[in-house]
């Protein structure tokens, strides 16, 4: 199989430029890089078809080896259409980025940054367990304020209610909890 | 005239539906009705296909009457039809969920009029990728589903979605270019792109060329399937999309990549040439993915990392490449599509009820909405692999296959698999403790929605009403349906495992596929000489025969 050396050189140059461009931060350059890559690949597919030959329209006097291989060209046609659609979509996205952020650069992922900066101390898992584990939120109330809370339908002063919850409290009243008489 | 000749309808029906819904873009009610009807019809057809393949064996359809290896063929075998049924069930549930969300919110968050046609095109692309027996047609299927996914992931065009969309589009295009280069090289080397024909002709190439082509294909599919170290793009891009879109992406898109890898490994490049690198990749994917999940504080991102991590299990089964390993991998793919999608759907509900999907803001949901708790708990335990759920059965099958193989690398994978399963449980338990069991006041930055509806007895009715308005019945119903389907996979795990094992046997045998495409007298080449059928292959055969 012989191949066209010029086409191959062009293909290599396109690949090199394309790879260089997609490594940039500017979105327009990334898009140009993707277009170059797609076109370089089209040339590669063309090269796999082998010799250039006659148009593949059947003629009984032409020997089979003289025709061009039509399949790679069909593949290239499909891939051109696809890369056309993707390019149009990318242009839309780039324009939208410009409208929203006034810049043509790939932006950092904010959540990634946040996770990276999170300290290893985790308030939920690592903090000291408070001594006061009662259901009654005394920590929010100053000691002198008399706050009443509802225990069932019975009003109780918050500090008394908390005292009842403490271990060893005198909450041995036979009345059922909830204050039913 | 066989039912399998209707297989192209699985691709054509959604495309027709997309055209119809696009014409009816100003009639949202008609759009909803048509897209749900079309998908249900497709699902019915695919169930029928699965049943006919179960009885009649692998079948091929020549598109347009062009005979293979020149024309394009669609091949219906057990693996592809099983994938079709599971993926269509999942996409139907997500579609119903999305219409529920659209009816509740209008077009504010996601322009639903564009959503329906695009979604149907995505489904068509997925079906095409599952069915095709032609390498270039597989590329076209990938492009159909990717182009639809570009639109879906940037739906609405908000800042974060555009930012995530750029990464996603660039990475996908690069992987597609790699795939196309691989196709060009394969065509240059063999002169054919029909997969059955390639299975015969690739064996004649010399070892170096074959390895090059093999690696090219695996890298291209590895990016799509999000295998470490090619998985970096996934957790960055998936979480910002609307909930139903993230759900369907998580369920289907990476699995299409896994499906393509399974086909490459079994049909095109049989033998164990690259099994060791695949095993290392599987181990790293599992462990690195789940460690990433533990660092996250956003539920969607956490789930994206578990998605990456659990892809590792499927690659594990593929790399073991015995009937037992491959069968377990097939089972695991079916299980994971369902479970991962339902978890993302529930996270969408959590976001609605709790105002956010960040674990710093959400709390106390178990009391506010017990239904949500149940909906989250079942698939979460399933994902972590707690018995008796299907996640446990799938992992058990994989671990058994690994132990049977018995090489040091396989044991490393078994240990890694167990470790990943435990760490998944840890990650899931953190979500549960924070979002469901913690009191809203204890959250770092509690969302006003949670504090506004104190869940004590006096205002219980008010909380109940908020539940109804924030969680539309359609959305809860479709999630419930999908969770129930996940449980059904557990209940009917026996028959499902039989289908999985039988499809694994057929894929490793290769002759049903090649004969279905190229006719009964096509030669089935032996496994290439470089990869001698070692003890693992014989073990697999005898193991399969025993079942």
pLDDT at A18: 94
**In which band, very low, low, confident or very high, does the pLDDT at A122 lie, cut at 50, 70 and 90?**
low
Say yes or no to pLDDT of B414 above 50: yes
Give pLDDT, residue B12: 92
In a mutational test of the B interface, the residue from A97, A106, A124, A136 whose CB has the highest number of chain B CBs within 10 Å is A124
**How far is A90 from chain B, CA to nearest CA, in Å?**
8
Phi and psi, residue B75, nearest 5°: -115, 125
Contact B298 A111 (CB under 8 A): yes
Show the tokens assigned to A60.
Answer: 């009984």
A86 Cβ under 8 Å from any chain B Cβ? yes
Angle of the B299-320 helix axis to the B390-405 helix axis, nearest 10: 40
pLDDT band for position A100 (50/70/90)?
confident
Q: Does residue A89 share a domain with residue A29?
A: yes
Cα B161 from chain centre: 22
Cβ neighbors of B204 (< 8 A, separation 6 or more) are: none
Domain shared by A145 and A78, yes or no: no
**CA dihedral in degrees (B436, B251, A112, B219; nearest 10)?**
150
Band of pLDDT at residue B422, cut at 50, 70 and 90: very high
CA distance to partner chain A, nearest, from residue B131 (Å): 19
Q: What is the pLDDT of residue A181?
A: 43
Which of B169, B183, B236 shows the shortest C-beta gap to A109?
B236
Yes or no, beta carbons of A22 and B147 under 8 Å apart: no
Please report residues of A whose CB lies closer than 8 A to that of B182: none
Tokens 């079709």: give the residue.
B84
- Tokens read off for B137: 């047609």
B162/A100 Cβ within 8 A: yes
Write down the ipTM of this complex. 0.83
A18 and A74 part of one domain: yes
Give me the CATH number covering residue A29.
Answer: 1.10.287.3510
Query: pLDDT band at B528, cuts 50/70/90?
Result: low
Asked if the structure places residue A74 within a domain, the reply is yes
Give the pLDDT of residue B127: 93
Task: Considering only the beta carbons, identify the residue of B136, B150, B170 that sits closest to A30.
Answer: B170
Say what the pTM is: 0.85
Partners of residue B437 in chain A, C-beta under 8 Å: none
A153 and A85 in a single domain? The answer is no
B355, B362 contact by CB (below 8 A): yes
Which residues are CB-contacts of A23 (< 8 A; sequence separation ≥ 6)? A33
3-state secondary structure of B307: helix
**Pick among B134, B155, B180 to test the A interface (most A CBs inside 10 A):** B180
Closest CA of chain A from B296, distance in Å: 7
Name the residue with higher pLDDT: B424 or B158: B424
pLDDT category of residue B285 using cuts at 50, 70 and 90: very high
Q: Is A153 inside a domain boundary? A: yes
Residue B284, pLDDT > 90, answer: yes
Q: Between residues B7 and B524, which one has the greater pLDDT?
A: B7
Interface test with B, best of A15, A82, A149 (most B CBs within 10 A): A82
Question: Do both A162 and A99 map to the same domain?
Answer: no
Q: Stretch A49-75: mean pLDDT, rounded?
A: 81
Cβ under 8 Å to B: A residues 87-106: 89-90, 93, 96-97, 100-101, 106
What average pLDDT does range B146-150 have in this prediction? 93
- Under 8 Å CB pairs connecting chains A and B tally to 89
Task: Give the per-residue pLDDT at B457.
Answer: 43
User: Is A179 part of a structural domain of the chain?
Assistant: no
pLDDT tens digits for B448-493?
Answer: 766 665 444 444 455 555 666 677 888 888 889 999 999 998 899 8
Whether residues A76 and A145 fall in one domain: no
A36 and A78, same domain (yes or no): yes
- Under DSSP, is residue B446 helix (H, G, I), strand (E, B) or coil? coil
Which position has the token pair 């140059």? A13
Using a CB-CB distance cutoff of 8 angstroms, which residues of chain A are in contact with residue B177? 34, 37-38, 41
Q: Do B296 and A34 touch (CB under 8 A)?
A: no
Residue A124 and residue B174: Cβ atoms within 8 Å?
Answer: no
Do A41 and B184 lie within an 8 Å CB cutoff? yes
Q: Lowest mean pLDDT: which of A10-24, A156-170, B1-15, B514-528?
A: A156-170
pLDDT digits (tens, 9 = 90+) for B232-261: 888 888 888 888 899 999 989 999 999 999
CA–CA separation, B498 vs B502, rounded Å? 6
Query: From the list A34, A48, A112, which residue is nearest B173 (CB)?
Result: A34
Q: Judge if A11 and A86 occupy the same domain.
A: yes
Domain assignment of residue A43, given as a range: 5-52+68-108
Query: Which residues make beta-bridge pairs with B62?
Result: B73
SS3 of A17, please? Answer: helix
In chain A, residues with a C-beta closer than 8 Å to the C-beta of B169 are 86, 89-90, 93
Shared-domain flag, residues A99 and A28: yes
Domain count across chain A: 2
Taking an 8 Å cut-off on Cβ atoms, the answer to whether A44 and B184 are in contact is: yes
> B266 or A140, which is more confident?
B266
CA proximity to B290, closest of B231, B246, B243: B231
Say if residue A159 is in the same domain as residue A72.
no
What string of DSSP letters covers A113-129?
A: HHHHH--S--HHHHSPP
User: A82 vs B157: CB contact, 8 Å cut-off?
Assistant: no
Classify burial at A110, counting beta carbons within 10 Å of its beta carbon; exposed 0-12, middle 13-18, buried 19 or more: exposed
Residue B440: pLDDT above 80? Answer: no
In degrees and rounded to multiples of 5, residue B522 shows phi and psi of -70, 140
In a domain, A171, yes or no: no
A99 and A146 inside one domain:
no
What is the SS3 assignment for B389?
A: coil
Task: List CB contacts (< 8 A) between A45 and chain B.
Answer: 180, 183-184, 187
Q: Assess if residue A58 is contained within a domain.
A: no
Q: Which residues of B touch A121 (CB under 8 A)?
A: none
Q: Which structure tokens are listed for B222?
A: 């590895």
Examine residue A88 and state whether it is found in any structural domain, yes or no.
yes
- Name which of B180, B298, B438 is nearest A41 (Cβ-Cβ): B180
Alpha-helical regions (H) of chain A:
5-22, 27-48, 70-101, 110-117, 123-126, 158-165
Q: Which long-range contacts (CB under 8 A, 24 or more apart) does B426-431 make?
A: B426/B294, B427/B290, B427/B293, B427/B294, B427/B302, B427/B306, B428/B306, B428/B380, B428/B381, B428/B383, B428/B384, B430/B294, B430/B359, B431/B299, B431/B302, B431/B359, B431/B376, B431/B380
Note whether B136 contacts A27, CB cutoff 8 Å: no
List all residues 6 or more positions away from A175 whose beta carbon is below 8 Å from its beta carbon.
Answer: A181
For residue B164, pLDDT beyond 80: yes
Q: Which residues in chain A have their CB less than 8 angstroms from residue B154's CB? A: 93, 96
- Does residue A33 fall inside a structural domain? yes
* A144 in contact with B, Cβ within 8 Å: no
Q: Is B64 on the interface with A (CB under 8 A)?
A: no
A17 and A85 assigned to the same domain: yes
How is residue B388 annotated by DSSP?
T
Is the alpha carbon torsion for B38, B44, B48, B53 positive or negative? positive
> Looking at the predicted structure, is the pLDDT value of residue B445 above 80?
no
Compare all CA atoms of chain A with the CA of B439 and give the residue at the minimum distance: A135
Q: Residue A73: inside a domain, yes or no? A: yes
């Amino acid at each position: 199989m012989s191949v066209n050396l010029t086409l191959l050189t062009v293909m290599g140059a396109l690949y090199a430029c394309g790879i260089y461009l997609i490594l940039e931060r500017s979105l327009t350059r990334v898009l140009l890089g993707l277009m170059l890559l797609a076109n370089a690949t089209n040339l590669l597919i063309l090269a796999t078809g082998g010799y250039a030959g006659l148009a593949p329209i059947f003629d009984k006097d032409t020997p089979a080896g003289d025709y061009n291989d039509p399949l790679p060209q069909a593949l290239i046609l499909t891939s051109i259409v696809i890369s056309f659609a993707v390019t149009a979509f990318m242009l839309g996205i780039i324009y939208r980025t410009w409208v929203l952020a006034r810049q043509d650069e790939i932006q950092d992922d904010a959540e990634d940054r946040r996770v990276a900066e999170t300290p290893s101390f985790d308030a939920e898992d690592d903090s000291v367990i408070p001594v006061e584990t009662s259901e009654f939120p005394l920590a929010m109330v100053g000691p002198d304020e008399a706050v009443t809370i509802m225990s069932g339908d019975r009003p109780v002063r918050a500090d008394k209610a908390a005292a009842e919850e403490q271990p060893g409290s005198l909450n041995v009243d036979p009345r059922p909890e909830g204050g039913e008489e | 005239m066989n039912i399998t000749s209707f297989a192209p309808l699985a691709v054509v029906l959604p495309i027709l539906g997309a055209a119809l819904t696009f014409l009816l873009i100003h009639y949202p009610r008609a759009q909803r009705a048509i897209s749900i009807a079309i998908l249900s019809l497709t699902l019915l057809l695919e169930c029928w296909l699965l049943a006919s393949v179960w009885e009649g064996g692998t079948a091929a359809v020549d598109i347009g009457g062009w005979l293979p290896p020149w024309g394009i063929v669609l091949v219906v075998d057990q693996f592809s039809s099983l994938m079709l049924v599971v993926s269509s069930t999942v996409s139907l549930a997500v579609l119903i969920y999305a219409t529920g969300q659209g009816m509740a919110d209008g077009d504010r968050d996601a322009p639903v009029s564009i959503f329906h046609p695009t979604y149907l095109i995505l489904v068509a692309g997925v079906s095409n990728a599952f069915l095709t027996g032609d390498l270039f047609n597989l590329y076209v299927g990938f492009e159909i589903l990717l182009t639809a996914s570009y639109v879906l992931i940037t739906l609405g065009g908000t800042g974060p979605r555009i930012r995530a969309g750029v990464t996603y589009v660039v990475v996908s295009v690069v992987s597609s270019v790699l795939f196309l280069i691989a196709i060009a090289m394969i065509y240059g080397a063999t002169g054919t792109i029909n997969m059955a024909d390639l299975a015969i002709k690739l064996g004649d190439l010399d070892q170096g060329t074959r390895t090059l082509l093999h690696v090219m294909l695996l890298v291209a599919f590895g990016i799509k399937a999000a295998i470490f170290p090619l998985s970096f793009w996934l957790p960055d891009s998936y979480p910002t999309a609307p909930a139903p879109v993230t759900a369907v992406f998580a369920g289907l898109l990476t699995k299409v990549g896994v499906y393509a890898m399974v086909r490459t490994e079994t049909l095109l490049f049989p033998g164990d040439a690259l099994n060791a690198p695949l095993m290392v990749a599987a181990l790293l994917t599992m462990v690195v993915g789940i460690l990433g999940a533990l660092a996250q504080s956003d539920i969607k991102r956490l789930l994206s990392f578990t998605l990456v991590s659990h892809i590792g299990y499927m690659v594990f089964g593929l790399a073991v490449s015995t009937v037992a390993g491959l069968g377990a991998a097939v089972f695991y793919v079916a299980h994971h599509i369902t479970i991962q999608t339902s978890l993302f759907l529930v996270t969408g509900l959590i976001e609605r009820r709790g105002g956010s999907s960040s674990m710093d803001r959400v709390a106390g949901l178990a009391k506010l909405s017990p239904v949500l708790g149940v909906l989250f708990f079942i698939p979460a335990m399933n994902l972590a692999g707690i018995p008796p759920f299907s996640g446990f059965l799938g992992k058990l099958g994989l671990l058994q296959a690994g132990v049977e193989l018995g090489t040091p690398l396989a044991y490393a994978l078994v240990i890694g698999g167990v470790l990943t399963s435990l760490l998944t449980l840890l990650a899931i338990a953190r979500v549960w403790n924070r979002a469901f069991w913690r009191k809203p006041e204890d959250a770092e930055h509690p969302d006003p929605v949670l504090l506004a509806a104190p869940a004590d007895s006096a205002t219980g009715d008010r909380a109940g009403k908020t539940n109804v308005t924030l969680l539309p019945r359609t959305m809860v119903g479709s999630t419930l349906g999908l969770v129930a389907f996940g449980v059904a996979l557990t209940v009917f795990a026996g028959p499902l495992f039989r289908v999985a094992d039988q499809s694994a046997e057929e894929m490793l045998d290769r002759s049903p596929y090649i004969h279905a495409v190229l006719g009964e007298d096509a030669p089935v080449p032996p496994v290439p000489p470089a990869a001698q059928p070692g003890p693992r292959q014989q073990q697999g055969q005898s193991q399969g025969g025993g079942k």
